[in-house]
Amino acid sequence: MSPVLPMTKYHQIYLVLREQLHEGRFSEGFPGELALMQQFGVARVTVRRALEQLASEGLISREPGRGTRALDVGASPAAPRGQTAQRAQLTGLLENLVSMGLKTSVNVLEVELVTASASVATALQLKPGDPVQKAIRVRSTREGPVSHITTYVPADIARKFGRRELAKKPILVLLEESGVQVGRAHQTISARLADVMVAKHLDVAVGSALLAVRRLVYDDHDRPIQWLHGLYRPDRYEYEMQLSRVGSIDAKVWVSKELSAKFH
């Protein structure tokens, strides 16, 4: 666990596990106390306190003799339908994303056909269990790893590209080369804590704060075609926006314009 974060170890573990539960990471079973002790390098009492917090929030169920299981915490909400004006905003976003892809090197860790979890199915407007391509990649600059990216694409769209293609080109380029016309995207930016796997690939301590990006990309018929979970090192990545005030004097609003995403 990160020794520099101003929070207890049990709370760091609780936050990491809570994020993974909301992402549907434990659909095949929740790890036991011993596995969590080994994963986080802490004592059983620390793990139990984190699990008690998760149970009190209705995220897991702990029953004697049956162990711990994840409860259905609800899928991530799909993005709202957009208007025509979003296309102009999307253009700048996609240009930045493709530019970033071309300026960094990529290590493809995993590409496989999996069944969609409840959260992935909801985002991509599929049925739980439908096939999707899951790809995990790490992007780096000369200074080292920058981002850990997980993408989900419906199987019928992803059939034209795999590990070899993902190692050479940004996935948005591959989507359009597959005949998909990108229409719009909905993006949220928040914070997450690094779990053991991500910490290893990004060369940070477990529990370190990361910038978390969730992006749902639609085609020009408003069908979801890509669901992305991105985790970025904040010391090597920054996202710049410009805000402008528009409207009449009594109804001014802020309008954003994506300028660039920078790697260090």
Give the number of other Cβ atoms within 10 Å of residue 259's Cβ: 12
116 lies in the same domain as 221: yes
42 lies in the same domain as 112: no
56 lies in the same domain as 99: no
Q: Is residue 216 part of a domain?
A: yes
Q: What whole-number distance in Å separates Cα of residue 183 and Cα of residue 217?
A: 8
Q: What whole-number distance in Å separates Cα of residue 202 and Cα of residue 197?
A: 9
Q: Which amino acid is at 220?
A: D
Q: Is residue 209 part of a domain?
A: yes
Structural domains of the chain, count? 2
Q: Is residue 45 part of a domain?
A: yes
16 lies in the same domain as 66: yes
Q: What is the pLDDT of residue 264?
A: 46
Q: Is residue 218 part of a domain?
A: yes
Q: What is the pLDDT of residue 8?
A: 76
**Consecutive 10-residue averages of pLDDT for the chain (264 residues):** 63 82 80 90 91 88 84 52 38 51 81 92 93 94 90 94 90 87 87 88 90 91 93 83 64 52 52
194 lies in the same domain as 115: yes
Q: 228: phi > 0 → left, psi -120 to 50 → alpha, else beta; which?
A: beta
Q: What is the pLDDT of residue 247?
A: 61
Q: What whole-number distance in Å separates Cα of residue 119 and Cα of residue 65?
A: 29
pTM: 0.66
63 lies in the same domain as 34: yes
The boundaries of the domain holding residue 24 are 9-70
200 lies in the same domain as 140: yes
We report the CATH number of the domain holding residue 204 as: 3.40.1410.10
CA angle 76, 97, 16 (to 5 degrees): 40
Q: Is residue 199 part of a domain?
A: yes
Q: What is the pLDDT of residue 75?
A: 45
110 lies in the same domain as 218: yes
Q: With H, G, I as helix, E, B as strand and everything else as coil, classify residue 142.
A: coil
Q: What is the pLDDT of residue 80?
A: 42
For the record, the structure tokens of 55 come out as 């149970």
